[in-house]
Amino acid sequence: MSTTVASREAIYERFETAWGTTTPIMFDNENDSPPTEESWVRLSVRHRDSEQKALGEVGFRLYRRLGSVFLQLFTPFDSGQRQLDNLIELARPIFEGARFSGVDFTNARVQELGIVDGWNAALIEFLFSYDERR
């Protein structure tokens, strides 16, 4: 059984461990500034819908929580496409089809965004779910 806080922390930990020192990592609502001349990634976790999966007494009701992990990948402008492609290939297997800490991931949706605010950018969305008893 997972919760919003526990699932978010597990997602952050998995990404930090897998990504290591590949690039600097920015998280939502943290007062860090992204690098100005080197590749970097932003990780966001967004919870969305919930659906009740089982009825019963309080404490035995089962809810399915749904959400997305968004990875925004940025490489310097005019550095070619290969660097961004390599980051996409490194990032995709971290969550695609993964299961850990009660969180289940399905597919990855990759969008190559082109130039965004002076960066060559891509967005990967990973869909996840977990069950919670309440």
Q: What are the helix and strand counts (H, E) for the chain?
A: 2, 6
Q: How confident is the model at residue 15, as a pLDDT?
A: 98
Give the full edge-to-edge strand order of the sheet including 40-54: 25-27, 40-54, 62-76, 119-133, 103-116, 99-100
Q: What is this structure's pTM? A: 0.89
Cα 118 to chain centroid, rounded: 23
Single-letter amino acid, residue 83: Q
Walk along the chain (134 residues) in steps of 10 and give the mean pLDDT of each run.
84 97 92 87 93 75 93 93 96 97 95 94 97 84
Tokens of 93: 């297997």
Query: What does the alpha-carbon distance between residue 90 and residue 81 come to, in Å, rounded to a whole number?
Result: 15
Q: Which domain holds residue 43?
A: 4-133
* CATH number where 68 lies: 3.30.2000.10
How many independent structural domains does the chain possess?
1
